[in-house]
Amino acid sequence: MANWQRGVLRAMGVANHLVEVQEITDVTPWYRRIVFSAPELVPELDIFPTAWLRLWVPNPDRGQHHVSQRGYTFVDVNVEAGTFVLEFVLHDTKGPAGDWARDAAVGDRVEVALTPSKISLPEGTRELVLAGDVTALPAINSWIADLDESVQARVFIEDGHDDVDALPAVTRTGDTWNLVSPELQRGTALTEVMRTEVEPSARQFAWAAGERMLVKRVRGVFKDHLGLVRGQHFSQTYWIEGRNPA
Ligand SMILES: Cc1cc2nc3c(=O)[nH]c(=O)nc-3n(C[C@H](O)[C@H](O)[C@H](O)COP(=O)(O)OP(=O)(O)OC[C@H]3O[C@@H](n4cnc5c(N)ncnc54)[C@H](O)[C@@H]3O)c2cc1C
């Protein structure tokens, strides 16, 4: 099958960059940090909370030499070293990006493309509600690392692993973190906790990402419970249960 996505992005002027695996760390058996060396690309990066890239990974199920793109969030961009990190959830279901990360070895090369989408906190925000599953953790950490001390973060993450508290977390005095075990439906337990733990407050902004149904339920909390209107919240589907994208 033709790589139409690559063609569309190329037509839009989106360049691909070759990066090299420099170091691999398994934070848990299912969460892997990979340091990439990209000395020419890194100094050019415009990094802001939630900044992400498209990783091009081989997808033989779609055809010989086919590569598919999947989104991953920039972590620990180091201009001096010319490196950045991606953190991969190694999910049980087969998928080209998860499989690539599981099999990755130092010296492997892979292409990435940058994305122009940019988000920033509205001026005067005092409380930032951050919610999602573990695929959103790198983005949540990127939000907190960038926050002024006058803004309090309220974090809500749904995940069922016993060792989820071993994952990297940017912690600050005054912020709160809630790690919630899932129930049968994604986002149900998370939103129940959110409705109990967060109240509407002045100058509040809310952000969410993760599996589609979880994000949909969290968006309901933002609107119905917190009463946030357009411009006061942002959410993004990062992946869809049971869906294998192109
Ligand atoms: C802007 C953006 C930023 C993202 N940042 C990160 C990040 O920093 N780290 C990260 O790990 N992910 C991140 N994601 C999510 C990641 O792109 C998806 O999880 C992606 O679907 C994984 O691709 P895959 O090829 O492994 O699986 P796919 O081919 O996409 O899917 C194969 C199967 O696996 C299932 N699946 C996919 N992801 C998961 C999962 N996480 N848990 C359980 N089942 C899954 C699908 O439902 C499908 O059934 C981000 C996504 C976006 C859009």
Question: 226-244 pLDDT, tens per residue?
Answer: 999 999 999 999 999 999 8
Percent over 90 (pLDDT), the chain:
87
Q: Give the residue among 71, 53, 69, 66 at the shortest CA–CA distance from 3.
A: 66
pLDDT average, residue stretch 36-43? 96
- Which ligand 1 atom sits closest to the C-alpha of 72? 5
- Which ligand 1 atom sits closest to the C-alpha of 75? 8
How many other CB atoms are found less than 10 A from the CB of residue 146?
Answer: 15
**CATH class of the structural domain 127-239:** alpha beta
* Ligand 1 contacts CB of residue 91 (under 6 A): yes
At 121 the three-state DSSP class reads coil
Give Cα 162 distance to the centre of its chain: 21
* Ligand 1 contacts CB of residue 239 (under 6 A): yes
Q: Going by CA atoms, what residue is nearest to atom 1 of ligand 1?
A: 71
What fold characterizes domain 4-114?
Answer: Elongation Factor Tu (Ef-tu); domain 3 (2.40.30)
pLDDT at 12 over 90: no
d(CA 91, CA 241): 11
What length does the chain have?
246
* Ligand 1 contacts CB of residue 93 (under 6 A): yes
pLDDT in tens, 126-185: 999 999 999 999 999 999 999 999 999 999 999 999 999 999 999 999 999 999 999 999
pLDDT at 2 over 70: no
Reported confidence tier of residue 13, pLDDT bands at 50, 70, 90: low
Q: Which residue has the higher pLDDT, 12 or 97?
A: 97
Reported confidence tier of residue 1, pLDDT bands at 50, 70, 90: very low
- Write down the mean pLDDT value for the chain: 94
239 CA distance to ligand 1 middle (Å): 5
- Residue 12's φ and ψ, nearest 5 degrees, are -80, 0
Q: Where are the chain's structural domains?
A: 4-114, 127-239
Which residue do the tokens 């439906």 mark? Answer: 185
Please give the radius of gyration of the chain, using alpha carbons only, rounded to the nearest integer. 18
